[in-house]
Structure 1
Amino acid sequence: MFGAFDEQVRTRLSALQSVAQSGGLDEAIDLMVDSIGDNGVLQAFGTGHSQAFAMEIAGRAGGLIPTHAIALRDTVLKGERPAGDLVGGLLERDSDIADELWELHDFQPQDVFLIASNSGVNGSIVGIALRAKEEGHKVIAVTSLEHTRAVTPKHPSGKRLSEIADVVIDNLAPFGDATVSVGAVSAGAVSSITAAYIAQLLTLATATRIQATGETPPLYLSANIPGGDEHNDALKAHYGERIGSMA
Structure 2
Amino acid sequence: MTDLGDRVRSLLDDLDARSAPAIRAAAELLLDAIEADGIVHAAGAGHSLTLVCETFYRAGGVAPVRPLWDPSVLPLADALGSTEAERRPGLGRSVVQNAAPTPPDVAVVFSTSGRNPYPVEIAQECAARGMAVIAVTSPDASVRADARAETRLADHATVVIDTAVPPGDVVYPLGSPHTAAVSTILASYAWSRLLAELDDLATARGVDLPRWVSANIPGGDAVNERLLARYRDRIPELSPRPM
Shared fold by TM > 0.5?
Answer: yes
Question: Alignment partner for residue 179 of structure 2, among 187, 199, 218?
Answer: 187
In 2, the alpha carbon distance for the partners of 1:12 and 1:184 equals: 17
**Could you say which residue in structure 1 is the equivalent of 2:121?**
127
Deviations 1:131-186 (A, max 9, x none): 1111111111011111101234212xx10001111111111010000011389651
Give unmatched runs, 5+ long, in structure 2. none
In 1, the alpha carbon distance for the partners of 2:194 and 2:78 equals: 35
Deviation larger for 117-126 or 226-235? 226-235
Taking the TM superposition and a 5 Å limit, the aligned residue runs for 1:11-26 are: 11-19=10-18, 23-26=21-24
C-alpha contact 2:40 2:107 (8 A) present in aligned 1: yes
**Could you say which residue in structure 2 is the equivalent of 1:151?**
145
In 1, the alpha carbon distance for the partners of 2:118 and 2:98 equals: 15
Partner of 2:202: helix, strand, or coil? helix
Question: Given the superposition, is the C-alpha separation of residues 44 and 237 from structure 1 closer, same or farther in structure 2, using an over 3 Å criterion?
Answer: same
Partner of 1:242: helix, strand, or coil? coil
Q: Which amino acid in 2 is paired with 1:149?
A: V
* Deviation, structure 1 residue 215: 2.8
Q: Which amino acid in 2 is paired with 1:213?
A: R
Give unmatched runs, 5+ long, in structure 1. 77-82
In 2, the alpha carbon distance for the partners of 1:75 and 1:142 equals: 18
Question: Alignment partner for residue 164 of structure 1, among 156, 172, 189?
Answer: 156
Deviations 1:59-117 (A, max 9, x none): 100100111112221899xxxxxx87984411111121123212432523211101010
In 2, the alpha carbon distance for the partners of 1:125 and 1:114 equals: 10
Question: Given the superposition, is the C-alpha separation of residues 190 and 84 from structure 1 closer, same or farther in structure 2, using an over 3 Å criterion?
Answer: closer
Deviations 1:15-39 (A, max 9, x none): 333456x534221111111010111
RMSD over aligned Cα atoms: 2.4
* Deviation, structure 1 residue 201: 0.8
**Could you say which residue in structure 2 is the equivalent of 1:200?**
192
Matched, 1:213 2:212: no
Deviations 1:173-230 (A, max 9, x none): 1000001138965111111100000111111211221122223221110112222121
Matched, 1:111 2:105: yes
Matched, 1:245 2:243: no
Aligned length: 237
